[in-house]
Structure 1
Amino acid sequence: MVLISWLFPSLFEQFAVKPNELELETPYIKHTIEYTRKAYGLDKIEEVSFPAESNLTPHDIQNNMPTIRSIPLWDRRPLMATYSQLQEIRSYYRFAGVDVDRYQVDGSYQQVMLAGREFSRNSLRGETWLNQHLVFTHGYGICMSPANEIGGEGLPEFFVKDIPPTSPVGLHIGRPEIYFGETMRDYVIVKTRTEEFDYPSGDENVYTTYRGRGGVHINSFFRRLAFAIRFGDPYLLVTDNLTPDSRILFDRHIGRRFRDEGPKRFQKLAPFLQFDKDPYLVTADENLYWIQDAYTVSNMYPYAQPFGRPYIRETNYIRNSVKAVLDAYDGTVTFYVWDEEDPLIQCYARIFPDLFRPKSEMPASLRSHVRYPVDLFKIQSSLYNTYHMASPQVFYNREDVWEPATEIYGVSERPQVMDPYYVIVRLPDADREEFVLMLPATPAQKANMIAWLLARCDGPNYGRLMVYKLPKEKLIYGPMLIERRIDQDTEVSKEITLWSQRGSDVIRGNLLVIPIENSFIYVEPLYLRATQAGMPELKRVLVVHGEKLAMGETLDEALEKVFGTDTNRRRVEESNGGGVSDGLQELSQTALKHFEDAQEHLRKGDFGAYGTTIEELRKVLIKLSESPKADTRSPAP
């Protein structure tokens, strides 16, 4: 019997299942594809064909100047070190991380980088009980810089800087104190007989008294005893600094960008939700707020593929159902229901009706800063790399598996998987620029680009997922192929070698794939970090389009080398009201250049290049014929 029980299944597998494996498994593969796509929201991804041409002209660049101006040259990882050197101001302040967002600045929609200046107990030299819990109670202010601008010596320009915060662009912060943040672990007591340190001012210090609603009154012996037991701190019972108005602020920690021990403020209020690992700071209505995405998850969705993450337990269903907002001054938390169709959050909202609010109640000043979460996008893009294959046969044979693109980043020369990145672009067929989260994809074990996925973040389009599929019949350079071309460029190699010989580290920033019209440009910043100072400076910008690669001290310079157009001059012309005649002149110059190039190819007998250039000339002439005529008549007296 033992022999039969072992032999029969083996024979059945060998002679009945394997010869008909696809036919037998097809119903189950269909279920897995269908329900996995539903469980992770992949069924709502819109698929669009993208031609990925390599024929951008100077006219195309000029027509997309808002996108060009928004290309983020500052990466938040090297920028973190630069911020720390320039804007922490005092040793007891720390930036926990740099956030990416967008703001209206002087009437322009701009991508920015910002960080909150939090108080660091570990850097406090006078570690007395009074200093730790009554005097040094909060951080102060933020620094903010445009993601695409380079100041003197390769350092960032600042929209908000210093203590107290100053802003050359009118971003006023009326309540800059940060009592709740990513590094706030200890309890503090406010409204005591001891004034709180607010911020340094020259040789003196400025002090303040807390005016918020946060915390719990500690105005009786029994409350003091309860908190003394809670925190294991007998000083709460014997200190003479408390008043009837004193409040104790605790659970001020909202989590950091890496796995941390212990529940955070959001998690204690809603432990049934899973929280994103990256809370981000925004300024709205002259106040500071933290926004953190929250998820409803389950591991019981039928047929769906499980997915695990260190910060999210293994699950096979996930929705970004909640946006949690915390006032950085008084700690008030509001949970806004964002995905009203999610059955799990509908259930929780009925159980806890006072905990959740509809998203329509979120102030417009905060709604303009919500963004699609990176954690969820990573999960969705990872699964979509396989589950975009809707055919059971294709899925079974693994014929069209994708994977995230790779790049060379930092000082290492080893390829690493690209992270999704936020960028302001104008999508094909869109009428204006918008803030999106995107990630290129390549075929499995190949370096050519096959698609790019994006999540839209603005207004009514928030949450729309799209994948732009590229032609399979031609080579589209993926990020890693561009990196190899950069490595082989003699000018770039010479510069990097020269910097390295001078004792500096060359940090390669994110390779950004930027869609423009029906094509791409690739942009990579290079940072230089002195071995001793450790402050990265943005020194060069690389631009690649088609077969052209150029390096410049600024993005404008690199673009001019690639496209033969002075984008900096174009900005001046636009600000001075440059008209239609400027565009006609640029098109005429482009047409002349194509004609001269074609003649040169003809003299060399390179008929293939000659035909390509003539085709480019034809396209420019079509644009020239469609352009409105400039009015050259003299104005009437």
Structure 2
Amino acid sequence: MVLFLIFAGLFTDYLWFDQLGFAEVLTTQWLASAAMFAVGFLGMALPLFISIDVAYRWRPVYAKLNAQLDRYQQVVEPLRRAASFGVPIVFGFFAGVSAANQWPTVLLWMNGGSFGEVDPQFGLDVSFFVFALPFLRGLVGFASAVVLISLVAAVATSYLYGAIRVAGREVRISRTARIQFAVTAALYLVIQGVSLWLDQYSTLTRQGELITGATYADANGTIPAQQILAGAAIVVAILFVITAIIGRWRLPIVGTAGLLVASLIIGQGYPALIQTFQATPNESAYEAPFIERNIEATRSAYGVADVQEETYAVTTEPEQGALSDDAETTASIRIIDPAQVTDAFGQLQQFRQYYGFPQYLDVDRYEIDGQMQDTVIGLRDIDMGSVSGSWVNQSIVYTHGYGVVAAYGNQRATNGQPVFLESGIPVSGALGEYEPRVYFGETSPEYSIVGGGENLEFDYPGSEDGEEDSYYTYTGEGGPKLDNIFKRALYALKYQSTDLLVSEYVNDDSQILYDRDPAERVQKVAPYLTLDSDPYPAVVNGRIQWIIDAYTVSDNYPYSHIESLSERIADTYTPSPTLPLDDINYIRNSVKATVDAYSGEVTLFAWDDQDPVLEAWQSIFPTSLTPMSEMTAELLDHVRYPADLFKVQRAVLGTYHVTSPGTWYEGNDAWISPAEPTQSGDNVPQQPPYYLSMQVPGTEEANFSLYSTFIPRATGANTRNVLTGYLSVNADAGTGADGEISEEYGRFSLLTVPGDETVPAPAQVQNNFNADRTVSTELNLLRQGDTEVISGNLLTLPIGGGFLYVQPVYVQSTGQSAYPVLQRVLVSFGDQIAFEDTLDAALDVIFGGDSGANAGDDDVPTVDPETGEPADPGTEPTQPESDSLQQALADAQEALTARQEALTQGDWAAYGVADEQLQDAIERALVAGGDIPGGEPATPEEDAPAGE
């Protein structure tokens, strides 16, 4: 039964990989693991068996034993033969399991090529440290364990059978035992000598207090000391060999004691003396060459060697018409926050409870009417938590989600709802015709049985006018076929379900779809890659494709600074992930992977074919990668610079934007990414980078970009919330000629703020918003009653000669089906703040009424939520002429004051009257502000205020 269970797991894995076309990946892993297990098993079991056997065979035959040992022999002797085989087998098994897990290290060593770069200390190619050194250290560690265990086994066996006798203070060892012990000890010391020799190379990847890599004390003390100790270990090993010949133990014992003393004096004391009396008193000067090594290696290993600082002559005084040169950027300012509109997508586009959208939507761009348009996009995936628990419903009927929902990033409807460019069931909109069914998504069922019968799978609900629900039969090749009883039995065992065997809905035409999460599918077929935390969907060539960025990483790049990948990835929207390799000092975005949402097909495109680590893996799995040249132009239009890589690079550039060793050592120009400005308290996560289409100063046109800001690195009361730097990268790969990758893709821009200018950072701007009297008054009014105010993402844009901050403000009622609606827009430039109904109006307030940003108005064109037709450009939301927003707010403030006075005086009648007046004023303010156009309900399904 145990063997059959193992076979069932292995065979179903093979069926899954074979159906995807990646069977070679699985079989290579199996063969490599099996070979490594065999090597580990034999490498431990054989020496241990030989050591025990030699000690027993050459035991003294007529040795006189004491009574205690004699009793031990009587107990052990009946089990001796079993133990002589069993002990090596048990140790060999554990050694084999440990060795089997090291197949990636061994295969990388066997297939690794050259980096074309040499380390500055030893002049070795970087590949030695990345590929060879981990293997050699693992091999030496394994050999050391084998020899040590063999020596212990030999000593125990010799003592039990009289080859070692203790009489008082005298220890007698037989000649054969002496030879065996001495030779084994000599071999152990040789291995330790090799280990010490390899330790000198490990200093280049060791994290120290100042830098990663060898410091002055290491180069002049530790490394020479390790070379000396390695030679001393070989000398002591020779002394043990001499003992095996002449039979005297004094020389190796003295030599071993001398080696221990030398390791303390030479290995520990000498480097400490150099550090204390030379390096520390003159650290800045002595460590400068080593800091320079660290800077150069770190920038190279993290792919930021070419990033250069550019001083941004920033102004904090807005001028009329200052945005005229940035009209393309202001036209694309994204006022729809993908983290806040999920509920709006759900209420307006979910249609049924068994559909759902991800917690955070994605930002992408599409060509609409000849113009590239930033969009907020999400898949209408199946939500199995809302499906009844019967096996038929869970596995046969509800099998897939349906369609893409996308909204303009820079537009809103007059009632604050998103303006959809793709929506509805059946799907329709600007994205054209495509296969809308989502069989492979982030919330897909654990497994589904498809294709086995006509119209068994629920497709989409009928309309409200009586149209019946639609059903569908899967026609793709997304999973292994259940075309015989044997396969059905294996999967019934795998999923502990007898229904798979007996259900009439499962037949020879059925397929089983499982492991359906896009990231999980990519990780299984490419176990050597570290995946980005944010797979995102895109409509490409008539299909929904999941696009997933993948990285090759290492922690063995010499002199490169070590970063915690999980800590750098974590931010407001991304929890800290669990990663197989967390502490890294080398990373490349080597692969762009796609997963077809309908067929589940996985394609791995070799994005960075110059990456030596990827080249090594390509040699190991030669058929798993597809050349980047096979990516279509439409797919390239949706490939973007990955956010996780950018987060790691911005963390590195926070310190390593400084290239002068002296300045780097002083540490007075170190930066960090700011904390999330909309949150407060302890352990606030860092603000995430944002995707925006904008024209960065120094570039010729606007591009889809990814950006982040910097503030000074400090702690406690010394923290200054001022902007010191602005990092952006061209994230658009598909704007090059003839559908090729744009030469600008991946190009960084690092703007630095002159030290004599004080530009508020995001946290300070958020504080200014909250402290502004006008803003706080209006926000407090919006919070009255059954509503709450939600601050959207605070965006920072380098336009108008300075930095412009834009934040959408959402209002949400507390009803059960409430969702946030975009009500107002906050804008800040320097010390100026505007809080208006539209972005264009706010920019006009800041820049004197003629911002030059007409194209950037979030209400140009506004869209009427009832007709779906564009409103007149520049018009404000419809409101009664007799009830302006200003009057409503003034009435609300007057009523609020009256209510507070009545509360103070205990006049509850007056309090009730004032409270009614306040509620009335708030409702009129919402109507006048556009939340309820003309006072009429805006939702399509029920008579309720917009947002419910």
Same topology, TM > 0.5:
yes
Contact persistence 1:409–1:507 (CA under 8 A): no
Partner of 2:780: 497
Please say if 1:238 is aligned against 2:502. yes
Q: How does 1:109-128 map to 2 (within 5 A)?
A: 109-125=372-388, 127-128=389-390
Stretch deviating more after TM superposition (225-234 or 115-124): 225-234
Stretch deviating more after TM superposition (355-364 or 232-241): 232-241
Cα distance in 2 between the residues matched to 1:356 and 1:463: 22
Please say if 1:174 is aligned against 2:434. yes
Partner of 2:560: 304
Cα distance in 2 between the residues matched to 1:282 and 1:151: 24
Partner of 2:720: 446
Please say if 1:323 is aligned against 2:606. no
- For 1:196, the aligned partner's letter is E
- For 1:25, the aligned partner's letter is E
Partner of 1:600: none
- 1:106 alignment partner, one of 369, 374, 390: 369
Give the match's secondary structure for 1:519: coil
Cα distance in 2 between the residues matched to 1:173 and 1:39: 43
Q: How does 1:124-163 map to 2 (within 5 A)?
A: 124-125=387-388, 127-163=389-425
Contact persistence 1:22–1:396 (CA under 8 A): yes
Stretch deviating more after TM superposition (316-325 or 29-38): 29-38
Partner of 1:291: 547
Cα distance in 1 between the residues matched to 2:769 and 2:855: 28
Cα distance in 2 between the residues matched to 1:35 and 1:514: 31
Give the match's secondary structure for 2:423: coil
Stretch deviating more after TM superposition (427-436 or 278-287): 427-436
Q: Deviations over 1:412-433 (max 9, x none)?
A: 8997532100111112243321
Please say if 1:486 is aligned against 2:769. yes
Q: How does 1:343-354 map to 2 (within 5 A)?
A: 343-354=612-623
Cα distance in 2 between the residues matched to 1:35 and 1:9: 24
Partner of 1:74: 336
Cα distance in 1 between the residues matched to 2:418 and 2:405: 11
Partner of 2:789: 506
Cα distance in 2 between the residues matched to 1:270 and 1:17: 46
- For 1:98, the aligned partner's letter is L
Cα distance in 2 between the residues matched to 1:393 and 1:411: 36
User: Could you say if the C-alpha distance between residues 410 and 506 of structure 1 is closer, same or farther in structure 2, counting changes exceeding 3 Å?
Assistant: farther
TM-aligned CA deviation for residue 62 of structure 1: 3.6
Partner of 2:511: 247
Contact persistence 2:324–2:852 (CA under 8 A): no
TM-aligned CA deviation for residue 365 of structure 1: 0.8
User: Could you say if the C-alpha distance between residues 63 and 21 of structure 1 is closer, same or farther in structure 2, counting changes exceeding 3 Å?
Assistant: closer
User: Could you say if the C-alpha distance between residues 211 and 567 of structure 1 is closer, same or farther in structure 2, counting changes exceeding 3 Å?
Assistant: farther
* Percent of aligned pairs with the same amino acid: 37
Give the match's secondary structure for 1:145: strand
- For 1:393, the aligned partner's letter is G
Stretch deviating more after TM superposition (319-328 or 214-223): 214-223
Cα distance in 2 between the residues matched to 1:567 and 1:32: 47
- For 2:614, the aligned partner's letter is I
Q: Deviations over 1:117-152 (max 9, x none)?
A: 111111102x21111111111000121001111113
Give the match's secondary structure for 2:412: coil
Cα distance in 2 between the residues matched to 1:477 and 1:572: 24
- 2:451 alignment partner, one of 187, 191, 197: 191
Partner of 1:22: 284
- For 1:189, the aligned partner's letter is I
Stretch deviating more after TM superposition (30-39 or 480-489): 480-489
Partner of 1:462: 745
TM-aligned CA deviation for residue 280 of structure 1: 0.1
Contact persistence 2:333–2:410 (CA under 8 A): yes
Cα distance in 2 between the residues matched to 1:344 and 1:571: 46
Q: Deviations over 1:437-463 (max 9, x none)?
A: 000111122211111001111231111
Contact persistence 1:411–1:508 (CA under 8 A): no
Query: For structure 2, which runs of at least 5 residues remain unmatched after alignment?
Result: 1-260, 567-576, 714-718, 736-741, 862-948
Partner of 1:545: 829
TM-aligned CA deviation for residue 210 of structure 1: 0.9
Contact persistence 1:406–1:480 (CA under 8 A): yes
* TM-score, with structure 1 as normaliser: 0.83
User: Could you say if the C-alpha distance between residues 402 and 553 of structure 1 is closer, same or farther in structure 2, counting changes exceeding 3 Å?
Assistant: same
Q: How does 1:570-609 map to 2 (within 5 A)?
A: 570-571=854-855
Give the match's secondary structure for 2:493: helix
Partner of 2:697: 428
TM-aligned CA deviation for residue 244 of structure 1: 2.8
Which has the larger share of strand?
A: 1
Contact persistence 2:333–2:856 (CA under 8 A): no
Stretch deviating more after TM superposition (375-384 or 237-246): 237-246
Contact persistence 2:331–2:853 (CA under 8 A): no
Partner of 1:564: 848
Partner of 1:530: 813
Cα distance in 2 between the residues matched to 1:10 and 1:192: 74
Q: Deviations over 1:132-182 (max 9, x none)?
A: 111111000121001111113211111111211121xx3224310000011
Which has the larger share of helix?
A: 2
TM-aligned CA deviation for residue 531 of structure 1: 2.2
Of the two, which has the highest radius of gyration? 2
Cα distance in 2 between the residues matched to 1:20 and 1:64: 50
- For 2:472, the aligned partner's letter is T
Q: Deviations over 1:501-550 (max 9, x none)?
A: 32322111121111225322111111112223441111110111233211
User: Could you say if the C-alpha distance between residues 493 and 415 of structure 1 is closer, same or farther in structure 2, counting changes exceeding 3 Å?
Assistant: farther
Cα distance in 1 between the residues matched to 2:852 and 2:667: 48
Cα distance in 1 between the residues matched to 2:533 and 2:654: 23
Q: Deviations over 1:35-91 (max 9, x none)?
A: 111111121223322111245544342443221121111111111122122221111
Cα distance in 2 between the residues matched to 1:240 and 1:32: 66
TM-aligned CA deviation for residue 245 of structure 1: 2.1
